[in-house]
Structure 1
Amino acid sequence: MWNACTLWVFEKKKVDPRVVVARTNNLLGEVIVAGKKEKLQEETGARDVQGWTPPPRGVDKAYLYRVYDNLSGVCKINTDAAVSVEGNIGLGMVVRDEVGDVLMSAGRNWSARITALQAEAEAMWFGLRYAYDASFINVQLESDCLVLVKLLQSRTKEESRTQVIVSDICNLVCSFLACAFKFAPRTCNKVAHAMAKVSLLFEEVLVWMEDCPSDICSLVMLYKALIE
């Protein structure tokens, strides 16, 4: 703002106020992220920080449903579910590339009476379906629900409502170029969890391409900074 004022006073150059505000917000975001990163490193030690990790350049073929020669351009999908006090379910998904940039994010508020495991399975189905619709078909999918990940990795079957959703996920995965499932601790899945919590406020399915809700931007930038 001071620079814009100086340009006008001394050079009679006008700067669009919207540009000034955008630059200010960007700088503020960088300052906030830098502060959080420094505090996090002071509290835990830089080497002990456990956060989101980028997808591999190739996929672990042990967990692939289908294998093709071209496994380049792998992106990572993180999914999670959140439950409100009223019992509503928030489904969240975030797609990121190997440098941590958001390629896509989406969320849905859903009124349903289901178990926590079913909610996690629904979040994964939701994330995969929208990722496929956006043509992300070479993926690694992470969830902080170990039971669900083991079900998908082992392809074991049980008679339950969750198995119905798991079967739907497996059927959808057959349409992907490559898909691997991986367990991620909650500390590595915070962005997807934040997306799920934000989704509890939605009235319809909302999708962002190459972006995410402003509520979670600082969290995305924080964990992107940690991998740089």
Structure 2
Amino acid sequence: MRRGFGWVIWDFTGRMMQAGGQGEMLYGSALMIEMDAIRVVMFACQQGGFSRVVVESDFQVAIKMVKGEMAVAVEVDSILFNIQTAIREFYEVIFIFAPRSCNKASHEVATFACRVGGSYY
């Protein structure tokens, strides 16, 4: 399946600090897309020098897998390993489910990336 994703980093006051996305990627499932998006935003937060991070996703299964509340699907095992490795670099990381209506900005970035293709930061 050819898809993509978008992500947005906000500061504690609600001001957008960074955004990025990837389009025209080949994925086997929606779960792989979401886990890859989480992985990419975790690395962006590392590069940005953040110590406390709250990751919001509208894909509840992905959030449960990252938090260890659900068995990990084999197809995302290596991506989850990268996420867990990145988590160790932060003082605090919180993963929460947020309905799609709460993350419209990231969906706008994803729409752009999928329409145009390529990787954006």
TM-score, scaled to structure 2 = 0.88
Gaps of 5+ in 2: none
Higher-RCO chain (CA-CA 8 Å, sequence separation at least 6): 2
Taking the aligned partners of 1:190 and 1:160, their CA distance within structure 2 comes to: 29
Partner of residue 105, structure 1:
19
> Is residue 27–residue 33 contact of structure 2 (8 Å, CA) maintained in 1?
no
**Quick one: distance in 1 between partners of 2:27 and 2:47?**
27
The answer for the alignment partner of 1:115 in structure 2 is 29
1:131 alignment partner in structure 2 = 45
Q: What is the rounded CA distance, in whole Å, between the counterparts of 2:110 and 2:73 in structure 1?
A: 27
Alignment partner, residue 67 of structure 1: none
2: CA distance, partners of 1:155 / 1:168:
18
RMSD (Å), alpha carbons = 1.8
- For 2:39 and 2:17, how far apart are their aligned partners in 1? 18
Equivalent residue for 1:197? Answer: 111
Q: TM-score, normalised by structure 1?
A: 0.49
C-alpha distance in 1, partners of 2:49/2:118?
22
Number of equivalenced pairs: 121
Whether the 8 Å CA contact 2:4–2:110 is kept in 1: the answer is yes
Question: Contact (CA 8 Å) 2:65, 2:72: kept in 1 or not?
Answer: no
More strand by share: 2
Match for 2:106: what amino acid?
A
Aligned to 1:154: 68
Unmatched segments (≥5 aa) in structure 1: 1-86, 208-228
What does residue 172 of structure 1 align with? 86
Q: List 4+ stretches of structure 1 deviating above 6 A.
A: none
